[in-house]
Amino acid sequence: MIMDIHQILKQLPHRYPFLLVDRVLEIDKGVRIKALKNVSIDEPFFGGHFPHRPVMPGVLMLEALAQAAALLAFDTLGVTPDDKTAYYFAGIDKARFKRVVEPGDQLVLDVNLDRMKSGIFKFTGRALVGADLAVEAELMCTMRTIA
């Protein structure tokens, strides 16, 4: 299954400048998602991180992985979230940053669903630029109903 930006916007509540998934290349329901984040010099964080050598913040690479994970979770459950649903980080383990990500790079987000139980999802994710690993981490996320 491929998702373009219009389909992603229907699934994720994030908007510019915090929407960090541009396209979904593959979803294997309940197993894996492969998505893209195109990194542009126009990203607002580059003005201050760092002006002399723009680098994408590691926390935003993790957020991009979490957004891809959310798309996988929604697809797995067969749901489209509404205004009463929130999807949050519950934990990040074993995060390792292996390569800087700069303007012009394309992050390939590769996330596997390891398990889900009682509304808690555990994922293993990694983001690559070409064949180079940029970041890897174990992510825990939860879906909650909000007032």
- Within a 13 Å sphere around the CA of 139, how many CA atoms are in the beta-carbon half? 30
Q: Annotated active-site positions, please?
A: 49
Spatial strand order in the sheet of 120-129: 23-28, 32-38, 106-117, 120-129, 132-145, 85-97
Distance CA 126, CA 98 (A): 10
- Residues 79, 14, 115: CA angle, nearest 5 degrees: 45
Distance CA 85, CA 87 (A): 7
